Amino acid sequence: MRPSRSWQSCHIHMPGRCFWASLKIFLRTARLWTLGGQIRYLIIRALQPIAKPVDASLFEKAALTYEYPPPQFREEAGPLRLAGVTALADLDEELAAFHASRLLVEKSSDPMSGEPAVTAARLLAALDHSASLYQYLYQDPCETLPEIVSECLHLLTSISTSLVPGLIERFSSSDSDLVLAGLFDLLIGHDEGVQGEEFLASFLEESKRYDAYRYLIALIIAERRQDLLPALLPMLHFESDKEKIFILLDAFEPLKQDSEISKVVEDLRQVYRK
């Protein structure tokens, strides 16, 4: 089953054909005085629910728009391209997938948010084009952004298990906690069950990456991975790192009604007080 298409959530009532036609004319002609595409972005989002197949070319034009307004001359039409691609997906999924694949690898994605590439990755996953996400992960690291890598890993939970060891080898030593979080999402949430248990156990036992450690512990608990707890709990009895103990006490507090977990929590508290 395909993931739900969140980009279809915008439903705005339009008063009639004349208004719709006027907006289309505006989209075809407005440029110089709307550099950056914000107005056109909002119009496309508003028109998307009532678009017809004939409008595919209009959305494709938006998906191909790049603009560099003064004074910084920095590319600012990313939201417009993204709106065009997501609207196009309602009319022509295959064509939209090609454009989303381009957005995924383009150099102008925002270095802080990863947009529009992050949302393009989600669209590709929804359209069953996961191969593009996998390909992105094997680009030269200098050509990728952690935000996009993390999202691609997060979205690949249905890939063949034979591909997972290669991803663990490639990203397990990443300097980015965000990338590690994406890898954990893949390993814990894989459709065929937990993957990379040896790596996960080693990370929990040896790593000093406390933010990533906190995320992994929270993920195991949030996903109710009872299959991981039997291997995890004995390891915790011997934990001596107080930073990790603090994280564990906080994470296991809601589960302390379980007798085995309660015993671990009590042991950890005694170590923490020393």
User: Of 123, 156, 189, at which residue does a domain stop?
Assistant: 156
- Cα torsion 259, 262, 266, 268: sign: positive
Residues 129 and 255 in one domain: no
Residues 152 and 31 in one domain: yes
Cβ neighbours, 10 Å, residue 199:
17
Short-list 213, 226, 161, CA closest to 184: 213
Q: Tell me how far apart the 2 most distant CA atoms of the chain are, in Å.
A: 76
Residues 123 and 233 in one domain: no
Residues 264 and 185 in one domain: yes
Q: How far apart are CA 148 and CA 125, in angstroms?
A: 13
Residues 223 and 112 in one domain: no
- At residue 2, the pLDDT reads 46
Residues 112 and 132 in one domain: yes
Residues 125 and 205 in one domain: no
Task: Provide the whole-model pTM.
Answer: 0.82
Q: How far apart are CA 19 and CA 46, in angstroms?
A: 12
Residues 205 and 141 in one domain: no
First vs last C-alpha separation in the chain: 52
Residues 97 and 212 in one domain: no
Short-list 112, 39, 43, CA closest to 74: 112
User: Of 156, 173, 194, at which residue does a domain stop?
Assistant: 156
Q: How far apart are CA 37 and CA 43, in angstroms?
A: 10
Residues 184 and 126 in one domain: no
Number of structural domains found in the chain: 2
Q: Is the peptide bond before 116 cis (omega within 30 degrees of 0)?
A: yes
Residues written for the chain: 274
User: Of 122, 156, 190, at which residue does a domain stop?
Assistant: 156
Residue 50 contacts residue 14 (beta carbons within 8 Å): yes
Residue 160 contacts residue 129 (beta carbons within 8 Å): no
Short-list 165, 98, 182, CA closest to 132: 98
Residues 166 and 232 in one domain: yes
Written as tens digits, the pLDDT of the chain (274 aa) is: 444 444 444 344 444 555 556 566 556 655 544 555 788 888 889 889 989 999 999 899 999 999 888 888 888 889 999 999 999 999 999 999 999 999 999 998 999 999 999 999 999 999 999 999 999 999 999 999 999 999 999 999 999 999 999 999 999 999 999 999 999 999 999 999 999 989 998 998 889 999 999 999 989 887 766 666 666 766 676 777 888 888 888 887 777 677 667 777 777 777 677 6
Name the residue range of residue 82's domain.
1-156
Residues 1 and 62 in one domain: yes
